[in-house]
């Protein structure tokens, strides 16, 4: 596990790396191109030796204050940041990772508090949400798994319906990078969290380089406020106001 500068989590954890989606703006793929041996050419790969890492990894001593305020005793762990957990899934891979989720769940399998391991909330983003229905146990998904879908264009919004498989936990969308004004009529009201970000690198896209993005973000914020959905805006969006809200409360 690695400490990360990503604003909405403490750690990244990669028991799987690689993806088959070929997004031209994927930061993980760019890193993998620089270090092809380290990431097996970005082919989906499982690293069983990394499964032990969350058990003995406590919240970092120096935490982002907005995370510490919201989750003082639980680490936020972005799982498979260097790929997509559901790009080319294998039942064995998924089941072993789910076992770690359960073991590090602050509520345990029977929803009673236990203290056997360090506590983690595992945040998973996917571009392949239809695979959730094939590889997750519909009635036995741990509550400390936050499931999210990356959406860059309005045509991808219907994919969010696949998140309804997760009836007990947090379901969220990440508009990063956000490329167009979101059709709010297609955005589910049952979402638990919305992340918004810009695009970095040589093709920067944010509220400074693309001023109309500010109105796109404001529209999402207004929608979210109306439906009590917390919003987290990343710094790379260059939005003038700091908005860093989480499910279950906590904000800066």
pTM score, two decimals? 0.91
- What 3-state class would DSSP assign to 189? coil
Tokens 């899934």 map to which residue? 89
Please give the pLDDT value at position 106: 77
Please give the pLDDT value at position 196: 98
Please give the pLDDT value at position 250: 46
Nearest to 86 by CA among 11, 139, 148: 148
Please give the pLDDT value at position 200: 87
Domain range annotation of the chain: 2-237
Tell me the C-alpha to C-alpha distance, in Å, between residue 201 and each of 70, 168, 176. Answer: 31, 37, 13
Q: In the chain, which stretches have pLDDT less than 70?
A: 25-33, 35, 37, 107-117, 249-252
Please give the pLDDT value at position 252: 33
- SS3 per-residue string spanning 104-165: CCCCCCCCCCCCCCCCEEEEEEECCHHHHHHHCCCCCCCCCEEEEEECCCHHHHHHHHHHHH
CB contact at 8 A, 100 and 47: no
Q: Could you give the CA distance from residue 11 to residue 57 in angstroms, rounded to a whole number?
A: 10
Q: Could you give the CA distance from residue 194 to residue 239 in angstroms, rounded to a whole number?
A: 15
Q: Could you give the CA distance from residue 86 to residue 90 in angstroms, rounded to a whole number?
A: 8
Rounded to 5 degrees, what are φ and ψ at 159?
-60, -25
List pLDDT tens digits, range 195-249: 999 998 778 899 999 999 999 999 999 999 999 999 999 999 999 999 999 997 5
DSSP 8-state assignment for residue 59: P
Pairing type for strands 45-46 and 16-17 reads: antiparallel
Q: Determine what percent of the chain falls in helix, strand and coil, rounding each to the nearest 5.
A: 30, 15, 50
């Amino acid at each position: 596990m690695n400490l990360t500068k990503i604003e909405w989590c403490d750690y990244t954890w990669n028991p799987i790396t690689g993806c088959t989606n070929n997004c031209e703006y994927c930061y993980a793929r760019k890193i993998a191109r620089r270090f092809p041996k380290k990431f097996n050419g970005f082919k989906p790969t499982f690293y069983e030796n990394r499964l032990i890492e969350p058990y003995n990894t406590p919240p970092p001593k120096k935490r982002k204050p907005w995370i510490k305020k919201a989750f003082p005793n639980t680490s936020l762990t972005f799982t498979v940041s260097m790929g997509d957990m559901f790009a080319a899934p294998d039942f064995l891979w998924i089941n072993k990772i789910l076992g770690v989720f359960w073991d590090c769940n602050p509520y345990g399998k029977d929803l009673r508090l236990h203290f056997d391991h360090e506590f983690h909330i595992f945040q998973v983003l996917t571009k392949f949400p239809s695979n959730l229905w094939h590889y997750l146990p519909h009635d036995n998904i741990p509550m400390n798994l936050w499931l999210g879908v990356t959406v860059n264009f309005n045509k991808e919004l219907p994919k969010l319906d696949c998140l309804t498989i997760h009836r007990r936990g947090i379901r969220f969308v990440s508009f990063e990078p956000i490329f167009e004004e979101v059709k709010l009529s297609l955005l589910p009201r049952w979402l638990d969290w919305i992340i918004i970000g810009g695009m970095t690198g040589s093709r920067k896209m944010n509220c400074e380089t693309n001023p109309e993005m500010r109105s796109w973000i404001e529209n999402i914020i207004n929608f979210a406020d109306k439906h009590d959905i917390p919003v987290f805006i990343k710094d790379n969006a260059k939005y003038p106001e700091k908005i860093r809200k989480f499910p279950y409360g906590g904000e800066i």
